[in-house]
Structure 1
């Protein structure tokens, strides 16, 4: 492929198995003028494995703001540069957002070189619903904040996806069971694409037991996937509220009908709106606005 001058290439790298480095990624990393890396020592090992000698510059969460102007200047002068993280797709729970934002705001073209991503790999092998999901990344380190965040997610009906470290996986999974419910289906994916890869499914309660069974189960890098909350049951109203909502729906859009019915009946507008969504042939009141 031909490397273009003045382009920032966002390059995905392996999350474990070095064989997952794509041929295109190798070409880009070999032919750019420089590589901005989260940990230059870690990336140097990957480059050596691939026979690449491109110069590295450090870009991590503690120096990104300071490094962006220099890297941006190089791009504006016509250099082609690559951005990598320690593993997987840059910016997915990794640094690089400030650089990409600054580059785009300055009119610099940013081009993705896609490849491995731990949460996508875990989702694809989890057996949990994948049509809708919420990637949360790392939960807060402190238990009270972590539980508050989980509580805020408790009613989400899509699959929930988290990253977790080895030293917090036990506490994090225990909090998930307590807040989300021990019966909630879940999957723990550990050391994906590496020698000791494990993908363990069950309920949050059974996964807590599995985690405690062996020290090896608590080692490595983790993706935790949790099934969403069950869909709320159909909304039902008393007969008079149903009658008023039905009359309103004949004459106006759903949002306005729910608001007017709420004013008349005193019922919550969101409950009335949810009931209206279930209504067959919602009337001729026009589009919702």
Structure 2
């Protein structure tokens, strides 16, 4: 790595509306205090988070580069130019940690290509926290992102994940758009075998946190409101 170049810091944020230093180490605050340039998904929420964790930091001095699905690819290629001048930049997650079920992997890849040092900072990952709390095999697990939207394709994917879990003793993790959580849970109950286990982890790190692991036959008699709440689903079949 070129010591004359700046550093790309991967900066985690909270998973919800809690105080940053309740779930983030003080080192994250210190890094943010030192930076002026940030790559962010949403400018408004990024500014709100920065103000909350470093209230005295000058908001007008911030230089924010937007990284979302509308970002111009050629423009994105210039986002790390300041690092080449010796200036460090922060890649700020919208929720949780950057580049894990979150935009930013391309920026990290670009940093490696340019010989820029990448420093990941400690923070909450809903995927890892849910896995920790599930009681499932933490030695072998897979994150599958979103399952298909169409019902028959989704049910097919659920059965495939159940087979993979049994064959490989591998916990299968996935997520859903919050307003479709209830439909997802209903499909899991109707598709998985009665003895398969399901962990539902909702509102992780928040006061409303709900984490429960049950066999499907027990989930069929359990009611929980998941509508418009961030949820991690994990399947395990022994």
TM-score by length of 2: 0.84
- 1:146 and 1:77, CA in 2 relative to 1: closer, same or farther beyond 3 A? farther
- Structure 2: tracts of 5 or more residues without a match: none
State whether structure 2 residue 27 is matched by structure 1 residue 24: yes
Match for residue 63 of structure 2 among 40, 45, 55 = 55
Deviation at 1:26, TM superposition (A): 0.9
Which of structures 1 and 2 has the larger relative contact order (alpha carbons within 8 angstroms, sep 6+)?
Answer: 2
Q: Which whole-Å deviations, capped at 9, do the CAs of 1:164-183 have from their partners, x for residues lacking one?
A: 23211122223333443243
TM-score by length of 1: 0.70
Contact 1:15 1:88 (8 Å CA) reproduced: yes
Q: Which whole-Å deviations, capped at 9, do the CAs of 1:250-281 have from their partners, x for residues lacking one?
A: xxxxxxxxxxxxxxxxxxxxxxxxxxxxxxxx
Deviation at 1:198, TM superposition (A): 0.9
- Structure 1: tracts of 5 or more residues without a match: 231-289
Q: Which whole-Å deviations, capped at 9, do the CAs of 1:54-74 have from their partners, x for residues lacking one?
A: 432211233163442121222
Equivalent-residue separation in structure 2 for 1:64 and 1:205 (angstroms): 49
Contact 2:199 2:235 (8 Å CA) reproduced: yes
> Partner of 2:214 in structure 1?
202
Equivalent-residue separation in structure 1 for 2:24 and 2:75 (angstroms): 26
Q: Which whole-Å deviations, capped at 9, do the CAs of 1:73-112 have from their partners, x for residues lacking one?
A: 2222222100011111111111111111112112222111
Which has the higher Rg, Structure 1 or Structure 2? 1
Equivalent-residue separation in structure 2 for 1:170 and 1:125 (angstroms): 21
Equivalent-residue separation in structure 2 for 1:141 and 1:64 (angstroms): 28
Q: Cα RMSD (Å) of the superposition?
A: 2.3
State whether structure 2 residue 121 is matched by structure 1 residue 109: no
Match for residue 218 of structure 1 among 211, 224, 227 = 227
Match for residue 105 of structure 2 among 91, 97, 102 = 97
- 1:225 and 1:64, CA in 2 relative to 1: closer, same or farther beyond 3 A? farther
- 1:39 and 1:129, CA in 2 relative to 1: closer, same or farther beyond 3 A? same
> Partner of 2:8 in structure 1?
8
The number of aligned residues is: 224
